[in-house]
Structures are given as structure tokens and as C-alpha cells.
Structure 1
């Protein structure tokens, strides 16, 4: 009896301890690089956005205008249908002229700057072979040592992980537009590789305005061990452009394809080499080391300018960033970042030529100019829902600008050389509060520093070859906003106000002729205000039983920029950007891969001279798109139609001092009705 009872108890214990579990399957989706960077930037106490370039490539993907569409606070319009574009964030570089150098924003590829003391040559802004694009407005670009009013745009190149296999993409359409791309990528052991070759060309909407270019892009990464990894990227691009001229409003209305002059720009080869190496000490600390080499050349003004110019520059960049997390400060969770960034122009010069004999007329030297930034930042978690962000940057700007040769004597009151060396502090404090896990409130107060670029100092080939005494533009900015998703809504809303001192402004004071170059005056202005509203909203209007969706996407920007009691212009508006910009798209997506869209783009009128006597007209243009992406993601096809009503409109403008109400050739014309089709295949 006792034995049988013991055996029964033993059997029960074995039954309890010998049980085997059924197989448990955990499913999920790996986070993409785009999603990871979006999550990272959502921890910034200010306006940031991430553009998934795969979504952009569902239609024409030719210029920065295509990539930066629907980004609140960002104004991006192509000029002459090429990579040269008017790109401005919060009025940065508001009077910049297009087709050679962009101002007011720091541009980077994979964290390596293509912006240096000489500004940003626009040939690399075609954004070829990019997986996603980060847009960080104003001081929210702190992590990239960007202190400009406009902030930073970082373009992240494809890797062997984001674009595996062999890939071909062809685009073609109106105005002789063609684009062909071949790429290959993959992962081999602890290494990955990506290589892309691209050609683009366009005959142009305006007469005699053809352009073409070639890109080679590479990205190679290697994981040495669980502590050390490195990534090497390179970009090469050459371009040959005949820029279309600006027109009068009368010409745009009655003869928009006219071209008043042939302005040829040749860029025989721009090269960007960069590497980023990361060493992880432990789970809470790591060191990132970045190195960059950027060589760019330009011959500008052929067949039109009285004295064309040759530019030849090399930027060398170094960055160090130490990240520490998991610490405590005042008994609270704390993450700290210490960084150093330096870009030096070595060498850099401009040679002005006689167009007939190619004899040297003037040489301006910029070698040794430098931008250096030391930064210390901290994120402190005050409560479960509240984070305090603080940062302090120490910036050193050096500009060495010299007229080393000139056929004309300098008889002006200004010198022939300037060595500008300036130190500035740029503090930042911000707070973000999680209303819900998916909705955040944020606000910050910051200071921005925009030093003049090297060529801004030079007078150019005029009768008096002087160097203008300029200093850095500085601004204090207050920003408040909300971002997140709730039910069918996903979006952001931001308001800001910047008090700007010494804003760097430009104006055409004499148009170019057959015997003289265009004369542009660059100056530090009296105090100005930049303020505005930036709103973006995506609304899921309908979901069908089969998974079909209809979304309504909107972006709205208010630009309110004006002088504060200027001695000449009083409270006049600053010219150059529309007061209001609105973009809207109604998008249909079927689960089988079919999609369609109708869209509109509206820009209000704005002044084009500081005296506020002439305006660019407002416009509204409509577009439509249809396409198919195979569920396997192996192939896709699209048709993208723009400006359906063939509207004659102004896409951007030059800025003048005082036009006295007279129509002038200050206006860039937008493309007429056009259609682009494209197909891609991955194998």
C-alpha cells in the first residue's frame, strides 16, 4: 500500500516536471535605418523630419525639390530643372543666388559635410543613391555641429543592407529628361558593399538650356568585432549645364520658354571621400571619428559673362563625437555628448578670366579659411514623461580672403585683404514632454551663428577689386511645437521667432551686360525678424475591407520675415520667399501594389526687391501620379504628370535693391505641363 502510494506520487512529480512546451513563434519586423533615424530624431526637443527616399521614388526623383517636398518650413524649388535649387529653411540664405553655391544650411552625406567655408556647391544636391534624408531645422541640428539659422540636411547613402542585389532604374519624360541608374549591393560576412552609377540629362523647358551629369557613388562597411566598425563612402559627379536665364513677368506670361542669354557652367569633377569609424567601449559609451575630403571645381559664366570665373577648392573635415549614456546627474538619468568638428579650406581660390584671351584678370585666394566647433550636450530625464536638453557650442570662424592679383587698382575705401577670426558661444536649452507614448510637446531657446562664406567677401571683377568687411550673422530663436500620431492623424505643428542681428543679405545693384558682369552687393543688414508656422499632417481618410487606403497629406508654411526699423526700409518685408506655401496630396494605395495620387502646390506672392515695389505673382499648380510596385518589391513602374493646367508661373527669383515698380528679368520660370515615366527592376 505504501509502495503503491509512493509510486503514484513519483509519477505525479515526473508529470509536473517533465512537461514539454509547444513551440513558441515570435513574429515582428526588423527596424529599418529610416525608422531608426526617425526614432532618434524624435528625441530632439525641436522640429526634425526624416524623408524616406523610397517613397519619393514612387514618382520623378530628379532634384532636391522632389526629395524635400511636403517638409514644413522647407522651401525647395528647382531652377532650370537641375540640381541647382532654391532651398531655404526658416528663411536661411533668403537672397542666395542659385546655380553654384547654396547658403544658410549645412549639408552632409552620412554625417560628412559637403558644406565648408566656401558654402555648398550644388552639384552634389541631386541626392543620388540616397536611402533617406534627415532635415533638422535651426539649432535642432546640434548633433551635426550645425549652428546656422537653417540647420542641417543629412543625406544617408544606401548600403549593402538597404539596397541588396542588382538594381536598374530608368526615368524619362518631357523636356528631354532622362535618368539611368545601375547599382549593386550586398553583404559578405562581416562586410557590406554598395555601388551606384547614374547618368542624367535634360534639354530644358527654356530654349537652349540643356544640362547633363554623371554620378558614381560607393559605400563600404566592415565590422571588425563587437567593438569596432567602420564605413567608407565616396561620391563623384561631373556636370555640364547651360543655365536658363531669368525672365520678366511679361515674358513668363507670354513667352515662358524664352532664354535671354546662354550662361554655361562646367563642373569637370567633384569628389567627396568620407569615413566614419565607431569604437564601442561598453554598453554605455562609444566614440565616433569622421574624416572627409571634398574637392570641387567650377568654371562659371561661359558664353555670357564678360569675365567668367574658375573656382578650385578642397575642404578637409574632421569630427570627433563621444557619446555617454546611462549616467545620473542630480540623481536623474543622464546622457551626454561631447563633440568636435573642423572643416578647413586648403587650398581654395577663384580666378577671373578674359573670355576672349583667357588671360587672368583677377585672382582671389581663400586658403586657410576654417570653421571649428566644440560642443557639449546633455539630455536629462526629469520625470517619466519629461526630458531637459541643454547644449553649448563654442565656434571659431576664420576667413582669409585676399585679392592676390588684379589688372585694376583698388581705389575704394575697402582693403584688398581681410583676415577675419571670430569666436562665438551658441547655447541651447530645450524641453520635451510626452502627452502620450505617441504625442510629444517640445520647446527650445537657442542661438545660431552664420559666418559669411569666403566668396561673399570678394567684390568680384569690378573696377575696384576690394574685399568687403563682413561679420557673422547671429540670431536668438524661440520655438514651440507638437508632433506625433493619434488615431487616423500623424503630423507636427511648430511656431518659431528669430531675432536676427547682422543678417547676411544680397542684392543685384547692376545687371550683367555684354561688357560687364552682374554686380551684387553683400552686406550685414540692420536687425530683422524671422518668424513663422510649420505644419504637416497626414490623415487616413478611409480603409477598405481588402486593405486599400486613402490618405490626405498636407504641409503648410508661413514665412514672415521683415526689417526692424531699418533706416532706409523701415519695416519692409524681406524679399525672396513666398509668405505662404501649401502642398496637398490625396493618395490611394491598393494592397496589390497599385497606387494613385492627385496633388497641388500653392505659393503666395512675395516681394523681389528690398524697397517692396515689385512682387512675384502667386501660383497654384496641379499634378497627378499613378504607379505599381510588385508585392515582391522586385519591380515597379510609375507615371508622374505635373502642372496639369500648363500654368505659366514664377518658381524663384533674384533679389534687387529697388526696382521702383518696374518689371525686370528677375524671375525664374517654372516648367510647363510635363510627364515623366519610370521603371525599376531588382534582381
Structure 2
């Protein structure tokens, strides 16, 4: 009987999705009694088929841990994503309610936003308002997040923590945190080869090997990717290395060293008008070249378990991400140097009591310092320096206390308090221009703040749980938002702060499982950006960031999954759905009133219908629909709405030794915009602000385990 129940649970695991991982165990428990009642009437029990046992274990452990969070979270099993094209963060973060993730020019330049974080700060791939980590070590620093590292290479699973629910990673951003957990020799032993090829010259090759030797394990992966591009002159290519080495010294002490190295060269297309989007989408009059000469992320994490099972995690990180911006076409190329050093500490206690009640506690500390950070631009025709701006010494430090207290059999109270120390330094060391503005040539400030949080979970029934929380978020500006090389002055931009109320329900019954979350954020000094001067053949694009008057971010995040059909052989049909409603607007602004904030669709719906055979064949139909949204603060010009259809078929050999797939996207050849620039006032006239999405395209791939 148990073997049959185990087999059913494993089949459900293969259907588990990022939006449903948090409810999967509840659904399995709900079907256990039905499995017991039918076991006596069934024929002989078949041998258990292990589908993704070792691969899914990391995702399932993360899902179990995140169930204790009194708010919205999700876990993505990247092995499931790899059943199709896995080129960028858009592929991994699909079907996540409340998460907007779209790539432009088919490259790794992604616009990623959670609950409207950094909603209009997308300019050739920068991601703001979310803290990104690899294996709990910060990728995001005072200078932001380098988008070339969001290539999803060798990731076992992805944790998505909305808003203040990311407190265990010392993340205080409005959007929360996304933590990518690497594959290791224990989770992915053996040799692996993967080849992908598709439309517009897309190619991707990956080789990896991993294993366990005594008390140690190792994992090494090399990857190369290339794409000719859909828009004219938008080729990109990259190569990288991922490696980690772990050693268990004793049951109490273990450590792991991490290395990520990435080189990337790409040319991105300019935004188009709506007319061009429809009639001439390959146009690219003002391409932008970017080159990463070798981004390097070095880190280590050591865990010590005390006699009382308390754990101390110590993480060290070195993050170097040079950038040559405008290496082609720009009249004033910019050479960025950025090196961050970070230290993270996490002390976790479980099984304690407080006032006679079960209690778990955490103490976390994270500090990331810009050890070397500056940008220098020069005139291409003469080679002379145009301007140099220094950011060295900027820092983000967060210290947090947290507690999970079980008030009753069905009730848990979460509480916490974070202290953040923000230091921003931006100083123009040299410029050929004359500062005639009211702004200074340098800014150097430190700002402290407290961010409390309080949450409650209530087990309404064995199948459903209610949750709610109130919290405060603090988003420091990234260094280049204060100024870089486009103007001879620095803007004194201050941190964005918000108070958020969130509540929802999650669980499953019968064939259904899902979640529904509603939130509202009262935002002060929101960091908003606008294109002051579009790029041209003679001038680079100029962007200005400032603190806005009070704004509101509110919305609905809903996910519903259904196991529509399943036979005794394990063949099944499953439906995944995700819906997001965004309402971001001013609060009685003296100029814009209650206007909508530009940059993101008000409504996004995604669905995926999948048929899977236990023998290994699978077929899928998917859709993504997005409503229109404004691209200017005066709300006179909107991006077109769209519906994009896709399909995927594949086969995984019963031996799990090889797999092949075909992934087709935009079946109806829809002309649409994946993202848009933000302008101050378009005056209702069509203008070049829209980044075109790929038309009909096909990717095929094959993978081997040996």
C-alpha cells in the first residue's frame, strides 16, 4: 500500500510547479486516505518508479522550510524548467503570480519585477528592487545586480520570496529576494551534456560532471551560448564556468566553496515605436553594445551545528563585475569597474520554548561593500577622458532578529526586527563639462532605519492555511542612480521606504491546489526613473532617477493547479494557471494626481496544459496574456496588450539517461512588446519606447546523462 502511495506521490512531484510547491505536501496528504481506500481493490502493486528523486530533494527541502513563512513564497525546480528551453530568467520565473520576468532581444537582459519593484527602471537589463543571491550569498550589491550572472547556469532550484518574506536572507527590498541554489556533486552526480539550437541562430552547449569522493563532493560545468538575434545587429554570445567543492569534516561541520565566472558580449536593439513594432519590428537604428570581460563570483559557506542542533552559517563572497558599455557605436564608451566584498552570518535555533510555547529563532547579518567601484567615459574619436565618477565605499549592512512562536495547535506568530545601515558615496573626480545645475558634484551620506515585521499563520483545516503579515521595506538607490557619466552633477537620491500589508490562503483539495494573496504597500520616496534623452546616432541615452511623492502598490497574486486526469499507469493531464493584478499609482501628486505608474501590465495571465505519459513522452500547450499599460507618467501613451501561445513536446527515456524536446513559442506570430522605456510625457503621440518580443520561433534540445 505504501509503495503505491509513494509512486503516486512521485508522479505528483513531477507535476509540481513553482507556484504549487508550497502546497504539494498538503495535496499528497489529502490523497493518502483515498490511496488507502482503493488499495484493496487494485491489482498487484507495480514496482516504484523513481522519477526525480535526488533531483527533487533540494526543491522539496526548500519548500518545506518556506512553509513556515507567514507570506507568499515559491520554489522552482529547475530540472522541470530544463524540459524545454532554459535560456534566461524569463524561462525559470514563468508562471509565478506577482512576478514579471521578460527578456529583450532574446538575451539575458531581463526585466524582473516583484510587486512592482523597480517597475520602470529597465534600461538594457538592469534589475532593481530585488535582492538576488546564489546559495545564500549576495549577488546584488550597492551597484545593483549584474544581469549577465542571471544566466541560470547549473541551478538546482530557485527560491522566490516576496517582499518582507525574504528576511532570512537579510533582504529588505519591496520585491524581496530570489535565491538560486547551485547543483552539487551530491544533487547531480555523473556526467551531463546538453545541446540546444533554435531560431535566430540560437545555440547553447553545456558539459558538466559531478560526484562524491569520501566526505567530499565536486561539481564543474562549462557553458557556451550564442544568438544572432531577431532585430538587426543584435547578436550575443557568452561562455562561463560554474564549480563548487564541498567537504564534510564531521556531522557538525561542513563547508562549500563556490565559483561562477561569466564572459558576455552582446548588442541590444533600440526601442521601437508602436508602428515599427507592427510593421518593421527588426529595425535597429541605434544599437547598444555591452561587453562583460569576466564577471567573477567567489564564495564560501561554512555550517556548524551545535550540540543543541542550533546552526551557524558563515558566508564570504567576492564579486567582481567589470563592464564596457557602448563598446560599439557609442560616441562616449564607459568603462565600469565594480568589486564587492560581502560577509553573511545566520544563526538558527529550533526546538526552543518561550513562555512554555514552541519557539524557533534566527539572527542574521549581511554586509556588502563596494571595495572598488567607479566609471570612466572617454571620447571614442580622440580617446581622451570625458568624465570619471567614483562610488568606492558605498555599503549596505543589515542586522535582523526573527522568531517563530507556536501559539496553539493551529496558530503560529512570526515576528522580527531589522536594522539597516546604508552608505552611499558618489563623487565626480573629473569632467570636461561645466556644472551649471543646482545639483552638487558629489554626494556622501549614511542613513539608518528600522524595519519591523509581524506575521500570523493559521491552519484553517488540514488542507488550507491562512496567513497575513505587516512589514516595512527599505530600498537603497543603487550607486549609478545618483549619477554616472551623462551629466556633470550628482543627484542626492535617498532610500525608498514602504509599509506593506499582505494576507492570503494556500492549500489544496482533491485535484486542486493553489494560493491567493492580496497585498497593499504605502510607498514613500519611490525611486522612479525617466528617459530624459533617447539614444541617437550622436548621443547616448540619458536617464534621471528621483524620489517620487507618495505612491501605492497593491495587487492580487493567484495560482491554481489541477490534476485533471490520471490513470493507473501514471499517465496524466495537468493544468497550471497564474494570474497577477497590478495597481500602482500616485497618491494625490501635485502634478500627476492619482495617475498610474508606467512600466508594467495591469493584468497578466499565464497557463500551461500538459499531458505526460509514464513511459516518458510529454506534450504541452501554454499561453501568456498581458494587458496594456502606460509608458509615460502623464498616462497618454500605452503599450499594446498581447496574447502569446506556445507548445512543447518531448521524451525522457525510462532509464533517465537521455531526453529530447522541441519548444515552439509565439505560435501565432504576434507582434508585441516585452518591455518598455519610461518617458515623462508622450503627449499621446507614438514614440520609440517599446522593445519587441520574438516572433514565431522554435528551439530543440537534447540532453544526456552518462
Residue aligning to 2:146 = 121
Asked if the contact 1:91–1:577 (Cα under 8 Å) also holds between the matched residues in 2, the reply is yes
Residue aligning to 2:469 = 444
Asked if the contact 1:305–1:512 (Cα under 8 Å) also holds between the matched residues in 2, the reply is no
Alpha-carbon separation, structure 1, partners of 2:312 and 2:328:
50
- Residue 126 of structure 1: SS of its match in structure 2? coil
Residues 166-181 of structure 1: pairs in structure 2 closer than 5 A: 166-181=191-206
Residues 477-492 of structure 1: pairs in structure 2 closer than 5 A: 477-492=500-515
TM-score (norm 1): 0.95
Residue aligning to 2:481 = 456
Alpha-carbon separation, structure 1, partners of 2:302 and 2:484:
41
Deviations 1:199-248 (A, max 9, x none): 00000011111000001000111000011000111100000001111111
Using the TM superposition, give the Cα deviation of residue 498 of structure 1 relative to its aligned residue in structure 2, in angstroms.
0.2
Residue aligning to 2:6 = none
Residues 272-351 of structure 1: pairs in structure 2 closer than 5 A: 272-351=297-376
Pair 1:363-2:388 in alignment: yes
Alpha-carbon separation, structure 2, partners of 1:586 and 1:252:
29
Specify which of 215, 219, 233 is matched with residue 240 of structure 2.
Answer: 215
- Residue 589 of structure 2: SS of its match in structure 1? coil
Alpha-carbon separation, structure 1, partners of 2:539 and 2:124:
19
Alpha-carbon separation, structure 2, partners of 1:143 and 1:489:
30
Residue aligning to 2:33 = none
Residue aligning to 2:602 = 579
Deviations 1:462-481 (A, max 9, x none): 3xx11101111000000001
Using the TM superposition, give the Cα deviation of residue 281 of structure 1 relative to its aligned residue in structure 2, in angstroms.
0.9
Decide which moves more: 606-615 or 281-290: 281-290
Over 3 Å counting, the alpha-carbon distance change for 1:459 and 1:183 in structure 2 is closer
Q: Structure 2: give runs of 5+ residues left out of the alignment.
A: 1-46
Residue aligning to 2:458 = 433
Asked if the contact 2:378–2:387 (Cα under 8 Å) also holds between the matched residues in 1, the reply is yes
Using the TM superposition, give the Cα deviation of residue 255 of structure 1 relative to its aligned residue in structure 2, in angstroms.
1.0
Residue aligning to 1:559 = 582
Using the TM superposition, give the Cα deviation of residue 459 of structure 1 relative to its aligned residue in structure 2, in angstroms.
5.5
Decide which moves more: 304-313 or 287-296: 304-313
Alpha-carbon separation, structure 2, partners of 1:415 and 1:100:
28
Using the TM superposition, give the Cα deviation of residue 516 of structure 1 relative to its aligned residue in structure 2, in angstroms.
2.5
Asked if the contact 1:352–1:461 (Cα under 8 Å) also holds between the matched residues in 2, the reply is no
Alpha-carbon separation, structure 1, partners of 2:623 and 2:518:
24
Pair 1:568-2:583 in alignment: no
Residue aligning to 1:11 = none
Alpha-carbon separation, structure 2, partners of 1:468 and 1:333:
49
Alpha-carbon separation, structure 2, partners of 1:77 and 1:137:
18
Using the TM superposition, give the Cα deviation of residue 100 of structure 1 relative to its aligned residue in structure 2, in angstroms.
4.7
Pair 1:680-2:703 in alignment: yes
Alpha-carbon separation, structure 2, partners of 1:460 and 1:526:
27
Asked if the contact 2:632–2:682 (Cα under 8 Å) also holds between the matched residues in 1, the reply is yes
Asked if the contact 1:99–1:122 (Cα under 8 Å) also holds between the matched residues in 2, the reply is no
Alpha-carbon separation, structure 1, partners of 2:655 and 2:507:
30
Specify which of 412, 422, 427 is matched with residue 397 of structure 1.
Answer: 422
Alpha-carbon separation, structure 2, partners of 1:479 and 1:374:
23
Alpha-carbon separation, structure 2, partners of 1:600 and 1:512:
34
Decide which moves more: 130-139 or 401-410: 401-410
Pair 1:613-2:662 in alignment: no
Specify which of 66, 70, 80 is matched with residue 45 of structure 1.
Answer: 70
TM-score (norm 2): 0.92
- Residue 62 of structure 2: SS of its match in structure 1? helix
Asked if the contact 2:389–2:484 (Cα under 8 Å) also holds between the matched residues in 1, the reply is no
Asked if the contact 1:61–1:67 (Cα under 8 Å) also holds between the matched residues in 2, the reply is yes
Residue aligning to 1:197 = 222
- Residue 197 of structure 2: SS of its match in structure 1? strand
Pair 1:652-2:669 in alignment: no
Residue aligning to 1:256 = 281
CA root-mean-square deviation: 1.3
Residue aligning to 1:522 = 545
- Residue 501 of structure 2: SS of its match in structure 1? strand
Alpha-carbon separation, structure 2, partners of 1:262 and 1:204:
12
Using the TM superposition, give the Cα deviation of residue 162 of structure 1 relative to its aligned residue in structure 2, in angstroms.
1.4
Alignment length (residue pairs): 656
- Residue 460 of structure 2: SS of its match in structure 1? strand
Using the TM superposition, give the Cα deviation of residue 435 of structure 1 relative to its aligned residue in structure 2, in angstroms.
2.2
Using the TM superposition, give the Cα deviation of residue 614 of structure 1 relative to its aligned residue in structure 2, in angstroms.
0.3
Q: Structure 1: give runs of 5+ residues left out of the alignment.
A: 1-25
Alpha-carbon separation, structure 1, partners of 2:420 and 2:456:
24
Alpha-carbon separation, structure 1, partners of 2:126 and 2:111:
10
Decide which moves more: 548-557 or 257-266: 257-266
Alpha-carbon separation, structure 1, partners of 2:309 and 2:193:
41
Asked if the contact 1:592–1:630 (Cα under 8 Å) also holds between the matched residues in 2, the reply is yes
- Residue 599 of structure 2: SS of its match in structure 1? coil
Asked if the contact 1:274–1:291 (Cα under 8 Å) also holds between the matched residues in 2, the reply is yes
Deviations 1:89-116 (A, max 9, x none): 0000011124353211000000011100
Alpha-carbon separation, structure 2, partners of 1:469 and 1:166:
52
Residue aligning to 1:625 = 648
Residue aligning to 2:118 = 93
Specify which of 642, 651, 657 is matched with residue 634 of structure 1.
Answer: 657
Alpha-carbon separation, structure 1, partners of 2:663 and 2:597:
35
Alpha-carbon separation, structure 1, partners of 2:682 and 2:125:
25
Asked if the contact 1:247–1:260 (Cα under 8 Å) also holds between the matched residues in 2, the reply is no
Deviations 1:316-370 (A, max 9, x none): 0001111112211111111111111100001100111112122210000000000
